[in-house]
């Protein structure tokens, strides 16, 4: 009997992990994936990215949407990203109108041409090792 219960519990766990996307509101999955792909895995970073994506109004140019680690992220990480996305619609904009962002890593490792846009913008916030920018 214990073996049967253990096997059923294991199957339940495997199936629930495989269907992490099922709880999302239709249409939210791309935004949640983008947050997972762009932010550090802490809620504060995810919330800041969610605010900037909302300000931007599009996922065009958001490379994190297709980041390899998005597909292997845990259900827990997706849950935080989903919460950040939902909360960004009703809570204060912590990035103060920012529509663009660059991580510390981007600033150190990107080609100057790729990050030159920031010189035409105002830095509005620095959250979770990420700089946020909006147009002047």
Q: Answer whether residue 114 is part of any domain.
A: yes
Q: Answer whether residue 9 is part of any domain.
A: no
CA distances from 3 to 8, 9, 12, 103 (A): 9, 10, 14, 48
Structural domain of residue 69, as residue ranges? 25-135
Residue 127: which of 76, 89, 92 has the closest Cα? 92
Tell me the backbone φ, ψ of residue 11, rounded to 5 degrees: -65, -40
User: 103 near 115, Cβ under 8 Å?
Assistant: no
Q: Answer whether residue 10 is part of any domain.
A: no
Q: Answer whether residue 99 is part of any domain.
A: yes
The pTM of this model reads 0.81
Q: Answer whether residue 1 is part of any domain.
A: no
Q: Answer whether residue 82 is part of any domain.
A: yes
Q: Answer whether residue 67 is part of any domain.
A: yes
pLDDT value, residue 30: 96
Q: For the chain, report the end-to-end CA distance as a whole number of angstroms.
A: 67
Instruction: Count H helices and E strands in the chain, helices first.
Output: 6, 3
Q: Answer whether residue 69 is part of any domain.
A: yes
pLDDT value, residue 31: 97
User: 99 near 50, Cβ under 8 Å?
Assistant: no
Question: What is the number of structural domains in the chain?
Answer: 1
pLDDT tens series, the chain, 136 aa: 555 444 444 444 444 434 344 456 678 999 999 999 999 999 999 999 999 999 999 999 999 999 999 999 999 999 999 999 999 999 999 999 999 999 999 999 999 999 999 999 999 999 999 999 999 9
Q: Which residues pair with 131 in a beta bridge?
A: 102, 126
């Amino acid at each position: 009997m214990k073996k049967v219960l253990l096997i059923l519990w294991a199957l339940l766990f495997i199936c629930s992990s495989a269907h992490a996307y099922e709880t999302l509101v239709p249409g939210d999955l791309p935004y949640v994936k983008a947050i997972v792909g762009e932010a550090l895995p802490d809620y504060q970073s995810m919330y800041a990215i969610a605010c900037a994506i909302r300000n931007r109004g599009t996922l065009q140019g958001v490379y994190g949407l297709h980041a390899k680690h998005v597909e292997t992220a845990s259900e827990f990480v997706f849950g935080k990203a989903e919460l950040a996305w939902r909360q960004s619609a009703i809570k204060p904009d912590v990035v103060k109108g920012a529509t663009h962002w660059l991580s510390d890593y981007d600033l150190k490792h990107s080609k100057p041409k790729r990050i030159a846009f920031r010189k035409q913008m105002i830095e509005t916030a620095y959250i979770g090792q990420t700089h946020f920018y909006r147009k002047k």
